[in-house]
Amino acid sequence: MIKISKIRLSILLLVVVLLVSSSSCTSCFNKYVEMPEGVTLNVSSEIKGYLVQKTLPSLHFDYNGVRVMMEAHGSACFFVSNDQYVLSDKFGEHLSKYSKEQIYVVSVIDQEYDKEKAVFDGKKLTLDEKDEFGNEQKYSKEYQLVITDKDGTRYSYQFRTFVSESKRYYIYRYSSNMGISMEQPLMVIKGEDNKNKLVLVALPYETKYEVGPNNIKLEALTEKDTYLDEKYYKYAYPDSIKDLSDNERRAKVMDWYKTYCNGHLNDNNEFVFEYYGASFKVEFGFTDCGNERNKDGFKLTYIG
């Protein structure tokens, strides 16, 4: 009897702990801030003091009173506890300001839970047989996008979307809230005081990068010399252009920098670009880029 009592007591204590933990996590998950004049994403506050650039990118989402959870030191937000219909309209308006050339689809999957009907604001809305572009629509779709703003800054977007009664809706994905985050590729350099400084970098299309505040701890960037190595700034051509000829890939990269970052040939016949007051040189003809063997790509060098 004593053994049984101990087992029952242990189970009871475990249940209590789980209930308390569940309550605490739910409370944390539902914490949000209300933004009276919409929400603005900024460069992560933890790296600002180390940046060479003083003028920095930002992105505004126009929805007065929007409720968000701010993440990544102010560089990302997730939408919670909003009027879903208003948020959907505002999100659609926000996306509409971008041209198709600015948008790259990282992933899109059919949400099979939403077959013929999609969950929205606690209701199930019947999907139109075809969307506004005439494409067959059996399920809602979950997207992850990379969008380049007019200044060359990239932002990641995640959401679920569908068309019902000729209206496009936007809402959370089943695995995560609808959100926007600023991408912050970095370069580590030595400053005049021989201390590590950080430089924000603009990268074309969906080019992948290793050095950033969400990938690497700040101490490793600012106190160690590991990321001074130029190998981290040899970038593999992104998937969207990797199968083109070498000349075409080079032209695509240069065209992107010309469009967004004043890319041009300098007096030394070097291709350079500018991003928020920092200047970079672009060089081509490299292999083993992106920390992978036999990956062709380009190299960036900070020049002031």
Domain parsing of the chain, residue ranges: 33-182, 191-302
**Contact predicate 170/91, CB 8 Å:** yes
The Cα 34–Cα 300 span in angstroms is: 40
Three-class DSSP category at 147: strand
Longest dimension (CA), the chain: 90
Q: Residue 1 CB: number of other CB atoms within 10 A?
A: 5
Q: What is the pLDDT of residues 198-252, one digit of tens each?
A: 999 999 999 999 999 999 999 999 999 999 999 999 999 999 999 999 999 999 9
The Cα 274–Cα 291 span in angstroms is: 25
The Cα 221–Cα 47 span in angstroms is: 10
The Cα 282–Cα 139 span in angstroms is: 43
Query: Which carries the bigger pLDDT value, residue 8 or residue 203?
Result: 203
The Cα 234–Cα 55 span in angstroms is: 25
Taking CA atoms, 295 is separated from 4, 228, 233, 236, in Å, by 63, 21, 13, 6
Lowest mean pLDDT among 26-35, 169-178, 192-201, 231-240: 26-35
Q: No. of H helices and E strands in the chain?
A: 4, 19
Q: What is the pLDDT of residues 272-283, one digit of tens each?
A: 999 999 999 999
